[in-house]
Structure 1
Protein backbone atom coordinates (compact mmCIF):
# COMPACT_ATOMS: atom_id res chain seq x y z
CA UNK A 1 0.00 0.00 0.00
CA UNK A 2 1.36 3.44 -0.85
CA UNK A 3 1.79 6.27 1.62
CA UNK A 4 -0.97 8.75 2.45
CA UNK A 5 1.07 11.51 0.81
CA UNK A 6 1.39 9.59 -2.45
CA UNK A 7 -2.31 8.64 -2.35
CA UNK A 8 -3.32 12.29 -2.18
CA UNK A 9 -1.00 13.22 -5.02
CA UNK A 10 -2.09 10.29 -7.16
CA UNK A 11 -5.80 11.05 -6.78
CA UNK A 12 -5.18 14.69 -7.62
CA UNK A 13 -3.23 13.85 -10.77
CA UNK A 14 -5.69 11.17 -11.84
CA UNK A 15 -8.59 13.57 -11.39
CA UNK A 16 -6.97 16.25 -13.55
CA UNK A 17 -6.03 13.78 -16.27
CA UNK A 18 -9.53 12.30 -16.25
CA UNK A 19 -11.07 15.66 -17.02
CA UNK A 20 -8.91 15.93 -20.12
CA UNK A 21 -9.10 12.36 -21.46
CA UNK A 22 -11.06 9.89 -19.28
CA UNK A 23 -10.42 6.97 -21.66
CA UNK A 24 -6.64 7.12 -21.13
CA UNK A 25 -6.76 7.88 -17.42
CA UNK A 26 -6.74 4.38 -15.98
CA UNK A 27 -4.18 3.14 -18.48
CA UNK A 28 -1.72 5.66 -17.02
CA UNK A 29 -2.47 5.07 -13.32
CA UNK A 30 0.24 2.44 -12.79
CA UNK A 31 2.85 4.56 -14.57
CA UNK A 32 1.93 7.60 -12.46
CA UNK A 33 2.11 5.54 -9.26
CA UNK A 34 5.54 4.25 -10.20
CA UNK A 35 6.87 7.74 -10.89
CA UNK A 36 5.55 9.21 -7.66
CA UNK A 37 6.85 6.30 -5.61
CA UNK A 38 10.32 6.53 -7.12
CA UNK A 39 10.55 10.28 -6.64
CA UNK A 40 9.62 10.15 -2.96
CA UNK A 41 11.21 6.96 -1.68
CA UNK A 42 14.72 7.11 -3.09
CA UNK A 43 17.48 9.26 -1.74
CA UNK A 44 19.70 10.60 -4.49
CA UNK A 45 22.45 8.13 -3.60
CA UNK A 46 20.06 5.18 -3.68
CA UNK A 47 19.73 4.79 0.09
CA UNK A 48 16.48 3.38 1.42
CA UNK A 49 16.82 4.77 4.96
CA UNK A 50 19.35 7.35 6.14
CA UNK A 51 20.44 7.30 9.79
CA UNK A 52 21.94 10.46 11.29
CA UNK A 53 23.85 10.32 14.59
CA UNK A 54 24.54 13.39 16.73
CA UNK A 55 27.39 13.52 19.24
CA UNK A 56 27.00 16.57 21.46
CA UNK A 57 30.30 18.09 22.60
CA UNK A 58 29.26 20.23 25.57
CA UNK A 59 31.44 19.17 28.51
CA UNK A 60 33.59 22.03 29.73
CA UNK A 61 31.26 24.66 28.35
CA UNK A 62 28.57 24.36 31.01
CA UNK A 63 28.05 27.08 33.67
CA UNK A 64 28.66 26.44 37.35
CA UNK A 65 25.93 24.35 38.97
CA UNK A 66 24.46 23.21 35.64
CA UNK A 67 21.73 20.57 35.76
CA UNK A 68 23.08 17.14 36.62
CA UNK A 69 21.95 13.79 38.12
CA UNK A 70 22.78 15.15 41.59
CA UNK A 71 19.96 16.67 43.69
CA UNK A 72 19.44 20.32 42.78
CA UNK A 73 19.84 21.43 46.39
CA UNK A 74 23.28 23.04 46.44
CA UNK A 75 23.19 26.04 48.71
CA UNK A 76 23.45 29.51 47.18
CA UNK A 77 27.00 30.78 46.87
CA UNK A 78 28.60 27.33 46.57
CA UNK A 79 29.77 25.38 43.51
CA UNK A 80 28.52 21.84 43.00
CA UNK A 81 31.91 20.18 42.64
CA UNK A 82 30.70 16.57 42.19
CA UNK A 83 28.35 17.69 39.40
CA UNK A 84 31.30 19.28 37.61
CA UNK A 85 33.03 15.89 37.52
CA UNK A 86 29.98 14.40 35.79
CA UNK A 87 30.50 16.87 32.96
CA UNK A 88 34.27 16.31 32.95
CA UNK A 89 33.61 12.65 32.19
CA UNK A 90 32.31 13.74 28.80
CA UNK A 91 35.66 14.88 27.47
CA UNK A 92 37.90 12.61 29.55
CA UNK A 93 36.14 9.33 28.76
CA UNK A 94 32.88 9.79 26.85
CA UNK A 95 33.87 11.27 23.51
CA UNK A 96 37.12 9.27 23.19
CA UNK A 97 35.15 6.05 23.76
CA UNK A 98 32.46 7.05 21.26
CA UNK A 99 35.07 8.00 18.65
CA UNK A 100 36.64 4.55 18.88
CA UNK A 101 33.20 2.98 18.55
CA UNK A 102 32.32 4.99 15.41
CA UNK A 103 35.61 3.90 13.86
CA UNK A 104 34.92 0.24 14.59
CA UNK A 105 31.47 0.54 13.06
CA UNK A 106 32.64 2.58 10.07
CA UNK A 107 30.16 5.42 10.59
CA UNK A 108 30.60 9.19 10.59
CA UNK A 109 28.59 11.47 12.85
CA UNK A 110 27.82 15.13 13.40
CA UNK A 111 29.28 16.67 16.54
CA UNK A 112 27.46 19.76 17.77
CA UNK A 113 30.18 21.71 19.55
CA UNK A 114 29.78 24.40 22.22
CA UNK A 115 32.42 27.08 21.56
CA UNK A 116 33.76 27.25 25.12
CA UNK A 117 33.98 23.44 25.28
CA UNK A 118 36.12 23.51 22.13
CA UNK A 119 38.42 26.17 23.56
CA UNK A 120 38.90 24.21 26.80
CA UNK A 121 39.54 20.92 25.01
CA UNK A 122 41.13 21.88 21.67
CA UNK A 123 42.95 18.60 21.02
CA UNK A 124 39.76 16.60 21.40
CA UNK A 125 37.88 18.95 19.09
CA UNK A 126 40.60 18.57 16.47
CA UNK A 127 40.56 14.81 16.83
CA UNK A 128 36.82 14.67 16.11
CA UNK A 129 37.33 16.45 12.79
CA UNK A 130 40.50 14.54 11.96
CA UNK A 131 38.58 11.27 12.30
CA UNK A 132 36.20 12.44 9.61
CA UNK A 133 33.24 13.72 11.60
CA UNK A 134 31.34 16.94 11.05
CA UNK A 135 31.79 19.88 13.43
CA UNK A 136 28.49 21.75 13.75
CA UNK A 137 27.82 24.87 15.82
CA UNK A 138 26.04 24.74 19.17
CA UNK A 139 26.44 28.31 20.43
CA UNK A 140 29.34 29.88 22.25
CA UNK A 141 28.13 28.71 25.66
CA UNK A 142 24.94 27.65 27.39
CA UNK A 143 23.34 31.10 27.39
CA UNK A 144 19.67 31.45 26.50
CA UNK A 145 19.86 32.88 23.00
CA UNK A 146 16.16 33.36 22.22
CA UNK A 147 16.07 36.36 24.58
CA UNK A 148 19.04 38.10 22.94
CA UNK A 149 18.72 41.18 20.73
CA UNK A 150 19.60 40.60 17.06
CA UNK A 151 23.23 41.75 17.11
CA UNK A 152 23.96 40.08 20.43
CA UNK A 153 22.63 36.76 19.16
CA UNK A 154 24.54 37.13 15.92
CA UNK A 155 27.79 37.62 17.84
CA UNK A 156 26.93 34.69 20.12
CA UNK A 157 26.51 32.36 17.16
CA UNK A 158 29.51 33.71 15.25
CA UNK A 159 31.80 33.43 18.27
CA UNK A 160 30.96 29.73 18.50
CA UNK A 161 31.62 29.23 14.79
CA UNK A 162 34.93 31.07 15.05
CA UNK A 163 36.03 28.94 18.00
CA UNK A 164 35.43 25.78 15.98
CA UNK A 165 37.13 27.19 12.90
CA UNK A 166 40.19 28.48 14.75
CA UNK A 167 40.76 25.20 16.58
CA UNK A 168 39.75 22.56 14.04
CA UNK A 169 39.91 24.37 10.69
CA UNK A 170 36.31 23.22 10.00
CA UNK A 171 33.69 25.76 8.96
CA UNK A 172 30.39 24.87 10.60
CA UNK A 173 27.34 25.08 8.31
CA UNK A 174 24.84 23.42 10.68
CA UNK A 175 23.35 24.78 13.90
CA UNK A 176 21.71 23.46 17.06
CA UNK A 177 20.44 25.86 19.74
CA UNK A 178 20.52 24.94 23.42
CA UNK A 179 17.52 22.62 23.93
CA UNK A 180 16.43 23.56 20.39
CA UNK A 181 15.16 26.91 21.68
CA UNK A 182 16.05 29.31 18.90
CA UNK A 183 14.56 32.77 18.73
CA UNK A 184 12.57 34.62 16.07
CA UNK A 185 15.78 36.07 14.59
CA UNK A 186 17.90 32.91 14.64
CA UNK A 187 17.23 31.61 11.14
CA UNK A 188 17.80 35.01 9.54
CA UNK A 189 21.11 35.24 11.38
CA UNK A 190 22.14 31.75 10.32
CA UNK A 191 21.41 32.58 6.68
CA UNK A 192 23.46 35.76 6.96
CA UNK A 193 26.39 33.85 8.46
CA UNK A 194 26.47 31.29 5.66
CA UNK A 195 24.83 28.32 7.38
CA UNK A 196 23.04 25.77 5.18
CA UNK A 197 20.86 24.00 7.74
CA UNK A 198 19.60 23.81 11.30
CA UNK A 199 18.24 20.89 13.33
CA UNK A 200 15.99 22.62 15.86
CA UNK A 201 12.83 21.04 14.51
CA UNK A 202 11.16 17.72 15.32
CA UNK A 203 8.16 18.03 13.00
CA UNK A 204 9.18 15.46 10.35
CA UNK A 205 11.07 12.22 9.82
CA UNK A 206 12.81 13.49 6.68
CA UNK A 207 14.66 16.67 5.72
CA UNK A 208 12.78 19.56 4.16
CA UNK A 209 13.47 23.02 2.77
CA UNK A 210 12.21 26.39 3.98
CA UNK A 211 12.72 29.91 2.70
CA UNK A 212 14.88 32.21 4.81
CA UNK A 213 15.51 35.69 3.40
CA UNK A 214 14.10 34.42 0.08
CA UNK A 215 16.74 31.70 -0.13
CA UNK A 216 16.58 27.93 0.37
CA UNK A 217 17.55 26.70 3.82
CA UNK A 218 17.54 23.05 4.87
CA UNK A 219 16.00 21.57 8.00
CA UNK A 220 17.51 18.26 9.10
CA UNK A 221 15.13 17.16 11.89
CA UNK A 222 16.50 16.33 15.33
CA UNK A 223 15.02 13.86 17.83
CA UNK A 224 13.78 13.72 21.39
CA UNK A 225 12.49 10.15 21.08
CA UNK A 226 15.94 8.66 20.41
CA UNK A 227 17.92 10.99 22.65
CA UNK A 228 20.00 9.86 25.62
CA UNK A 229 19.57 13.07 27.63
CA UNK A 230 15.80 12.71 27.42
CA UNK A 231 15.54 8.95 27.93
CA UNK A 232 18.48 8.10 30.17
CA UNK A 233 18.70 11.22 32.33
CA UNK A 234 15.16 12.50 31.91
CA UNK A 235 13.24 9.23 32.23
CA UNK A 236 15.86 7.05 33.95
CA UNK A 237 15.82 4.46 31.18
CA UNK A 238 18.39 1.69 31.43
CA UNK A 239 20.74 1.13 28.50
CA UNK A 240 18.74 -1.89 27.34
CA UNK A 241 15.48 0.08 27.46
CA UNK A 242 17.12 2.78 25.33
CA UNK A 243 18.32 0.12 22.90
CA UNK A 244 14.85 -1.42 22.60
CA UNK A 245 13.07 1.90 22.06
CA UNK A 246 15.48 3.07 19.36
CA UNK A 247 15.39 -0.35 17.69
CA UNK A 248 11.59 -0.16 17.53
CA UNK A 249 11.85 3.28 15.96
CA UNK A 250 14.25 1.93 13.36
CA UNK A 251 12.03 -1.05 12.51
CA UNK A 252 9.03 1.20 11.88
CA UNK A 253 10.93 3.75 9.82
CA UNK A 254 12.58 1.02 7.78
CA UNK A 255 9.15 -0.41 6.95
CA UNK A 256 7.87 3.04 5.98
CA UNK A 257 10.94 3.67 3.82
CA UNK A 258 9.62 1.18 1.28
CA UNK A 259 7.06 3.77 0.18
CA UNK A 260 8.39 7.15 1.36
CA UNK A 261 11.65 8.90 2.09
CA UNK A 262 12.71 8.44 5.71
CA UNK A 263 15.48 9.74 7.95
CA UNK A 264 16.19 8.47 11.46
CA UNK A 265 17.98 10.60 14.05
CA UNK A 266 19.77 9.41 17.19
CA UNK A 267 21.41 11.71 19.74
CA UNK A 268 24.24 10.99 22.18
CA UNK A 269 25.72 13.45 24.68
CA UNK A 270 29.37 13.26 25.72
CA UNK A 271 28.82 12.49 29.42
CA UNK A 272 25.81 10.19 28.84
CA UNK A 273 26.20 8.39 25.52
CA UNK A 274 29.89 7.93 26.20
CA UNK A 275 29.45 5.65 29.21
CA UNK A 276 30.51 2.00 28.73
CA UNK A 277 26.97 0.62 28.84
CA UNK A 278 25.65 3.18 26.36
CA UNK A 279 28.50 2.66 23.91
CA UNK A 280 27.81 -1.06 24.04
CA UNK A 281 24.12 -0.35 23.38
CA UNK A 282 25.03 1.91 20.45
CA UNK A 283 27.35 -0.73 19.06
CA UNK A 284 24.67 -3.43 19.18
CA UNK A 285 22.07 -1.08 17.73
CA UNK A 286 24.14 0.06 14.76
CA UNK A 287 25.27 -3.47 13.94
CA UNK A 288 21.60 -4.46 13.86
CA UNK A 289 20.80 -1.58 11.49
CA UNK A 290 23.73 -2.42 9.23
CA UNK A 291 22.21 -5.85 8.59
CA UNK A 292 19.35 -4.18 6.69
CA UNK A 293 19.71 -3.51 2.99
CA UNK A 294 19.78 0.11 1.89
CA UNK A 295 20.57 1.68 5.29
CA UNK A 296 23.26 4.36 5.21
CA UNK A 297 24.79 6.53 7.94
CA UNK A 298 25.40 10.16 7.03
CA UNK A 299 26.61 13.37 8.59
CA UNK A 300 24.00 16.11 8.72
CA UNK A 301 25.92 18.37 6.33
CA UNK A 302 25.72 15.54 3.79
CA UNK A 303 21.97 15.17 4.35
CA UNK A 304 21.42 18.92 4.03
CA UNK A 305 23.34 19.05 0.76
CA UNK A 306 21.37 16.11 -0.66
CA UNK A 307 18.10 17.77 0.33
CA UNK A 308 19.05 21.12 -1.19
CA UNK A 309 20.09 19.51 -4.48
CA UNK A 310 17.06 17.20 -4.79
CA UNK A 311 14.08 18.77 -6.58
CA UNK A 312 11.70 16.30 -4.91
CA UNK A 313 12.58 17.43 -1.35
CA UNK A 314 9.56 18.68 0.58
CA UNK A 315 9.24 22.47 0.66
CA UNK A 316 7.40 24.41 3.34
Structure 2
Protein backbone atom coordinates (compact mmCIF):
# COMPACT_ATOMS: atom_id res chain seq x y z
CA UNK A 1 0.00 0.00 0.00
CA UNK A 2 2.03 2.92 -1.31
CA UNK A 3 -0.77 5.39 -1.97
CA UNK A 4 -3.88 5.89 0.13
CA UNK A 5 -5.93 5.06 -2.96
CA UNK A 6 -4.24 1.64 -3.08
CA UNK A 7 -6.24 0.77 0.03
CA UNK A 8 -9.53 0.52 -1.86
CA UNK A 9 -10.80 -0.93 -5.11
CA UNK A 10 -12.95 0.76 -7.71
CA UNK A 11 -16.57 -0.42 -7.84
CA UNK A 12 -19.14 0.90 -10.31
CA UNK A 13 -22.47 1.59 -8.62
CA UNK A 14 -24.28 -0.42 -11.30
CA UNK A 15 -22.25 -3.49 -10.29
CA UNK A 16 -22.96 -3.29 -6.57
CA UNK A 17 -25.04 -6.16 -5.13
CA UNK A 18 -28.71 -5.42 -4.50
CA UNK A 19 -29.28 -4.89 -0.79
CA UNK A 20 -32.39 -5.20 1.35
CA UNK A 21 -33.18 -2.07 3.28
CA UNK A 22 -34.09 -2.29 6.95
CA UNK A 23 -37.85 -2.80 7.33
CA UNK A 24 -38.16 -2.91 3.52
CA UNK A 25 -37.03 0.71 3.27
CA UNK A 26 -36.00 2.27 -0.04
CA UNK A 27 -33.73 5.00 1.22
CA UNK A 28 -31.73 5.53 4.39
CA UNK A 29 -31.39 9.12 5.59
CA UNK A 30 -28.36 9.73 7.79
CA UNK A 31 -28.13 13.04 9.63
CA UNK A 32 -24.91 14.27 11.20
CA UNK A 33 -24.71 17.31 13.45
CA UNK A 34 -21.15 18.57 13.98
CA UNK A 35 -20.29 20.09 17.36
CA UNK A 36 -16.78 21.46 17.64
CA UNK A 37 -14.38 23.17 20.00
CA UNK A 38 -12.60 26.12 18.39
CA UNK A 39 -9.67 27.03 20.63
CA UNK A 40 -9.43 30.81 20.75
CA UNK A 41 -5.62 30.75 20.95
CA UNK A 42 -5.41 29.26 17.43
CA UNK A 43 -6.47 30.58 14.01
CA UNK A 44 -10.17 29.90 13.53
CA UNK A 45 -11.11 26.98 11.26
CA UNK A 46 -13.45 29.26 9.27
CA UNK A 47 -14.27 32.94 9.21
CA UNK A 48 -17.55 34.79 8.79
CA UNK A 49 -15.90 38.18 9.25
CA UNK A 50 -12.64 38.78 7.31
CA UNK A 51 -9.81 40.23 9.40
CA UNK A 52 -9.35 43.99 9.09
CA UNK A 53 -6.84 44.97 6.38
CA UNK A 54 -6.31 41.26 5.68
CA UNK A 55 -4.18 40.67 8.77
CA UNK A 56 -4.90 37.46 10.72
CA UNK A 57 -5.15 38.57 14.33
CA UNK A 58 -5.25 36.48 17.50
CA UNK A 59 -7.36 36.15 19.50
CA UNK A 60 -10.01 36.19 16.76
CA UNK A 61 -12.94 37.14 18.97
CA UNK A 62 -15.71 37.78 16.39
CA UNK A 63 -15.20 34.52 14.50
CA UNK A 64 -14.79 32.50 17.68
CA UNK A 65 -18.10 34.04 18.78
CA UNK A 66 -19.72 33.11 15.46
CA UNK A 67 -18.97 29.46 16.19
CA UNK A 68 -19.87 29.85 19.87
CA UNK A 69 -23.35 31.01 18.85
CA UNK A 70 -23.84 27.57 17.34
CA UNK A 71 -23.04 25.85 20.63
CA UNK A 72 -25.09 28.24 22.73
CA UNK A 73 -28.14 28.61 20.47
CA UNK A 74 -27.97 26.85 17.11
CA UNK A 75 -27.47 23.34 18.50
CA UNK A 76 -30.69 23.58 20.47
CA UNK A 77 -32.61 24.50 17.32
CA UNK A 78 -31.15 21.46 15.56
CA UNK A 79 -31.98 19.23 18.52
CA UNK A 80 -35.58 20.45 18.63
CA UNK A 81 -36.06 20.16 14.86
CA UNK A 82 -34.86 16.55 14.87
CA UNK A 83 -36.41 15.35 18.14
CA UNK A 84 -39.82 16.77 17.23
CA UNK A 85 -39.69 14.63 14.08
CA UNK A 86 -38.45 11.48 15.87
CA UNK A 87 -35.09 11.59 14.09
CA UNK A 88 -32.01 10.24 15.88
CA UNK A 89 -28.83 11.85 14.58
CA UNK A 90 -25.13 11.12 14.68
CA UNK A 91 -23.20 13.69 16.70
CA UNK A 92 -19.78 14.33 15.14
CA UNK A 93 -18.06 15.61 18.24
CA UNK A 94 -14.60 16.85 19.11
CA UNK A 95 -13.72 14.68 22.10
CA UNK A 96 -12.90 17.67 24.30
CA UNK A 97 -16.45 18.98 23.81
CA UNK A 98 -17.63 16.35 26.31
CA UNK A 99 -15.92 18.22 29.15
CA UNK A 100 -15.97 21.76 27.69
CA UNK A 101 -19.63 21.79 26.63
CA UNK A 102 -21.11 19.02 28.80
CA UNK A 103 -24.64 20.44 28.49
CA UNK A 104 -24.57 19.70 24.75
CA UNK A 105 -23.09 16.24 25.20
CA UNK A 106 -25.64 15.40 27.90
CA UNK A 107 -28.56 16.46 25.70
CA UNK A 108 -27.30 14.44 22.74
CA UNK A 109 -26.75 11.39 24.92
CA UNK A 110 -30.22 11.72 26.43
CA UNK A 111 -31.69 11.97 22.91
CA UNK A 112 -30.02 8.68 21.97
CA UNK A 113 -27.70 10.18 19.39
CA UNK A 114 -24.64 8.29 18.24
CA UNK A 115 -21.33 9.88 19.27
CA UNK A 116 -18.85 9.84 16.39
CA UNK A 117 -15.23 10.95 16.83
CA UNK A 118 -14.36 14.25 15.15
CA UNK A 119 -10.87 14.90 16.50
CA UNK A 120 -10.00 16.12 19.98
CA UNK A 121 -10.29 19.80 19.08
CA UNK A 122 -11.06 21.30 15.67
CA UNK A 123 -7.72 21.22 13.85
CA UNK A 124 -6.46 19.24 10.82
CA UNK A 125 -4.88 15.82 11.28
CA UNK A 126 -1.76 17.13 9.52
CA UNK A 127 -1.14 19.78 12.19
CA UNK A 128 -1.07 17.41 15.16
CA UNK A 129 2.21 16.83 16.99
CA UNK A 130 1.20 13.26 17.88
CA UNK A 131 -1.72 12.01 15.79
CA UNK A 132 -2.02 8.70 17.63
CA UNK A 133 -2.18 10.46 20.99
CA UNK A 134 -4.83 12.93 19.80
CA UNK A 135 -7.02 10.17 18.31
CA UNK A 136 -6.69 8.09 21.47
CA UNK A 137 -7.57 11.11 23.64
CA UNK A 138 -10.69 11.86 21.58
CA UNK A 139 -11.85 8.25 21.66
CA UNK A 140 -11.20 7.95 25.39
CA UNK A 141 -13.05 11.15 26.30
CA UNK A 142 -16.10 10.07 24.28
CA UNK A 143 -15.95 6.57 25.76
CA UNK A 144 -15.61 7.93 29.29
CA UNK A 145 -18.59 10.26 28.84
CA UNK A 146 -20.96 7.85 27.09
CA UNK A 147 -19.75 4.55 28.54
CA UNK A 148 -19.44 3.24 24.99
CA UNK A 149 -16.62 2.88 22.48
CA UNK A 150 -17.26 5.10 19.44
CA UNK A 151 -16.92 3.21 16.17
CA UNK A 152 -17.20 6.11 13.70
CA UNK A 153 -14.83 8.93 12.82
CA UNK A 154 -14.97 12.11 10.79
CA UNK A 155 -11.66 13.95 10.77
CA UNK A 156 -11.79 17.75 11.12
CA UNK A 157 -12.15 19.01 7.57
CA UNK A 158 -12.12 15.33 6.44
CA UNK A 159 -8.31 15.51 6.65
CA UNK A 160 -6.08 12.44 6.71
CA UNK A 161 -2.38 11.73 6.80
CA UNK A 162 -0.92 8.50 5.43
CA UNK A 163 -1.23 7.08 8.96
CA UNK A 164 -4.73 8.19 9.97
CA UNK A 165 -6.67 5.11 8.90
CA UNK A 166 -4.20 2.75 10.59
CA UNK A 167 -4.31 4.76 13.82
CA UNK A 168 -8.09 4.94 13.79
CA UNK A 169 -8.45 1.19 13.38
CA UNK A 170 -5.87 0.66 16.12
CA UNK A 171 -8.02 2.81 18.42
CA UNK A 172 -11.22 0.84 17.78
CA UNK A 173 -12.76 2.87 14.95
CA UNK A 174 -14.67 0.78 12.39
CA UNK A 175 -15.99 3.33 9.89
CA UNK A 176 -14.81 6.68 8.54
CA UNK A 177 -16.48 9.61 6.78
CA UNK A 178 -13.46 11.11 5.04
CA UNK A 179 -14.05 9.49 1.65
CA UNK A 180 -17.30 10.91 0.18
CA UNK A 181 -17.16 8.90 -3.03
CA UNK A 182 -20.21 6.63 -3.21
CA UNK A 183 -23.92 6.25 -2.43
CA UNK A 184 -23.22 3.07 -0.43
CA UNK A 185 -20.56 2.03 2.10
CA UNK A 186 -17.25 0.75 0.74
CA UNK A 187 -14.34 -1.19 2.21
CA UNK A 188 -10.93 0.38 2.80
CA UNK A 189 -7.86 -1.46 4.05
CA UNK A 190 -5.65 -0.62 7.04
CA UNK A 191 -2.63 -2.27 8.64
CA UNK A 192 -4.97 -3.62 11.32
CA UNK A 193 -7.74 -4.93 9.08
CA UNK A 194 -10.49 -3.48 6.87
CA UNK A 195 -12.76 -0.57 7.74
CA UNK A 196 -15.86 0.82 6.07
CA UNK A 197 -16.23 4.24 4.52
CA UNK A 198 -19.74 5.65 4.83
CA UNK A 199 -21.17 8.05 2.22
CA UNK A 200 -20.70 11.28 4.16
CA UNK A 201 -21.94 14.24 2.12
CA UNK A 202 -20.28 17.18 0.44
CA UNK A 203 -23.13 18.47 -1.72
CA UNK A 204 -25.72 18.19 1.08
CA UNK A 205 -23.43 19.74 3.66
CA UNK A 206 -24.11 23.23 5.00
CA UNK A 207 -20.37 24.04 5.01
CA UNK A 208 -20.18 23.51 1.25
CA UNK A 209 -23.52 25.17 0.48
CA UNK A 210 -23.21 28.24 2.67
CA UNK A 211 -19.47 28.77 3.26
CA UNK A 212 -17.83 27.47 0.08
CA UNK A 213 -20.58 28.17 -2.47
CA UNK A 214 -22.05 31.19 -0.61
CA UNK A 215 -25.59 30.07 -1.42
CA UNK A 216 -28.62 31.79 0.14
CA UNK A 217 -30.54 30.13 2.98
CA UNK A 218 -33.20 28.47 0.81
CA UNK A 219 -30.65 26.60 -1.29
CA UNK A 220 -29.93 24.19 1.56
CA UNK A 221 -33.51 22.99 1.28
CA UNK A 222 -33.50 23.03 -2.52
CA UNK A 223 -30.21 21.19 -2.97
CA UNK A 224 -31.05 18.56 -0.36
CA UNK A 225 -34.57 18.10 -1.75
CA UNK A 226 -33.33 17.56 -5.30
CA UNK A 227 -30.71 15.12 -4.02
CA UNK A 228 -33.36 13.21 -2.11
CA UNK A 229 -35.72 13.16 -5.11
CA UNK A 230 -33.08 11.67 -7.38
CA UNK A 231 -31.88 9.07 -4.90
CA UNK A 232 -35.47 8.12 -4.06
CA UNK A 233 -36.17 7.54 -7.74
CA UNK A 234 -33.00 5.48 -8.17
CA UNK A 235 -33.80 3.42 -5.08
CA UNK A 236 -36.17 1.33 -7.21
CA UNK A 237 -32.98 -0.36 -8.44
CA UNK A 238 -31.10 -0.59 -5.14
CA UNK A 239 -31.31 1.02 -1.73
CA UNK A 240 -29.65 4.42 -1.41
CA UNK A 241 -28.17 6.36 1.49
CA UNK A 242 -28.72 10.10 1.68
CA UNK A 243 -26.45 11.81 4.17
CA UNK A 244 -27.04 15.33 5.48
CA UNK A 245 -24.38 17.22 7.43
CA UNK A 246 -25.16 20.29 9.53
CA UNK A 247 -23.23 22.67 11.77
CA UNK A 248 -25.13 24.60 14.47
CA UNK A 249 -23.43 27.92 13.68
CA UNK A 250 -24.71 27.65 10.08
CA UNK A 251 -28.09 25.93 9.74
CA UNK A 252 -28.91 26.56 13.40
CA UNK A 253 -29.29 30.28 12.72
CA UNK A 254 -32.74 31.96 12.67
CA UNK A 255 -32.86 32.51 8.91
CA UNK A 256 -31.83 28.94 8.03
CA UNK A 257 -33.44 26.61 10.60
CA UNK A 258 -36.85 26.86 8.93
CA UNK A 259 -35.38 25.40 5.75
CA UNK A 260 -34.00 22.48 7.78
CA UNK A 261 -37.45 21.81 9.25
CA UNK A 262 -39.08 22.11 5.83
CA UNK A 263 -36.58 19.61 4.39
CA UNK A 264 -37.25 16.91 6.98
CA UNK A 265 -41.01 17.42 6.69
CA UNK A 266 -40.69 16.87 2.94
CA UNK A 267 -38.53 13.77 3.33
CA UNK A 268 -40.90 12.26 5.89
CA UNK A 269 -43.87 12.56 3.52
CA UNK A 270 -42.42 9.70 1.46
CA UNK A 271 -42.94 5.98 1.98
CA UNK A 272 -39.94 3.73 2.42
CA UNK A 273 -37.78 6.28 4.26
CA UNK A 274 -35.84 5.22 7.33
CA UNK A 275 -33.62 7.45 9.47
CA UNK A 276 -30.49 5.76 10.81
CA UNK A 277 -27.28 6.69 12.60
CA UNK A 278 -23.88 5.91 11.15
CA UNK A 279 -23.44 3.07 13.62
CA UNK A 280 -26.77 1.56 12.60
CA UNK A 281 -25.82 1.83 8.93
CA UNK A 282 -22.48 0.16 9.67
CA UNK A 283 -24.10 -2.84 11.38
CA UNK A 284 -26.85 -3.11 8.75
CA UNK A 285 -24.35 -3.10 5.89
CA UNK A 286 -22.05 -5.62 7.58
CA UNK A 287 -25.02 -7.92 8.12
CA UNK A 288 -26.30 -7.52 4.56
CA UNK A 289 -22.96 -8.08 2.87
CA UNK A 290 -21.30 -10.30 5.46
CA UNK A 291 -18.37 -7.86 5.21
CA UNK A 292 -15.33 -8.87 7.22
TM-score range, shorter chain: 0.7 to 0.9
Change in Cα spacing, 1:62 to 1:186, as seen in structure 2 (3 Å) is farther
Q: CA RMSD in A?
A: 2.3
Larger helix fraction of residues: 1
Q: Report the counterpart of residue 275 of structure 2 in structure 1.
A: 297
Q: Report the counterpart of residue 214 of structure 2 in structure 1.
A: 236
List alignment gaps of at least 5 residues for structure 2.
1-11
Residue 169 (structure 2) pairs with residue 185 (structure 1): no
Q: Report the counterpart of residue 177 of structure 2 in structure 1.
A: 199
Residue 130 (structure 1) aligned to one of 110, 120, 123: 110
Residue 80 (structure 1) aligned to one of 54, 60, 70: 60
> CA offset at residue 148 of structure 1?
5.1
Contact 2:128 2:134 (C-alpha < 8 Å) held by counterparts: no
> CA offset at residue 116 of structure 1?
2.8
* Residues 209-228 of structure 1: pairs in structure 2 closer than 5 A: 209-213=187-191, 215-228=193-206
Q: Report the counterpart of residue 31 of structure 2 in structure 1.
A: 53
Name the count of aligned residue pairs.
279
Query: What's the TM-score once normalised by structure 1's chain length?
Result: 0.81
Contact 1:209 1:307 (C-alpha < 8 Å) held by counterparts: no
Larger radius of gyration: 1
Say which SS state the counterpart of residue 56 (structure 1) adopts: strand
List alignment gaps of at least 5 residues for structure 1.
10-38
Residue 141 (structure 2) pairs with residue 176 (structure 1): no
Change in Cα spacing, 1:104 to 1:70, as seen in structure 2 (3 Å) is same
* Residues 26-41 of structure 1: pairs in structure 2 closer than 5 A: 40-41=18-19
* Residues 260-271 of structure 1: pairs in structure 2 closer than 5 A: 260-271=238-249
Deviations 1:55-97 (A, max 9, x none): 0001445654412110134645542222221111011101111
C-alpha separation in 1, matches of 2:24 and 2:194:
23
Q: Report the counterpart of residue 83 of structure 2 in structure 1.
A: 103
Relative to structure 2, which stretch is displaced further, 295-304 or 134-143? Answer: 134-143
> CA offset at residue 277 of structure 1?
2.8
Change in Cα spacing, 1:89 to 1:43, as seen in structure 2 (3 Å) is same
Query: What's the TM-score once normalised by structure 2's chain length?
Result: 0.88
Contact 1:41 1:258 (C-alpha < 8 Å) held by counterparts: no
Residue 119 (structure 1) aligned to one of 94, 99, 102: 99
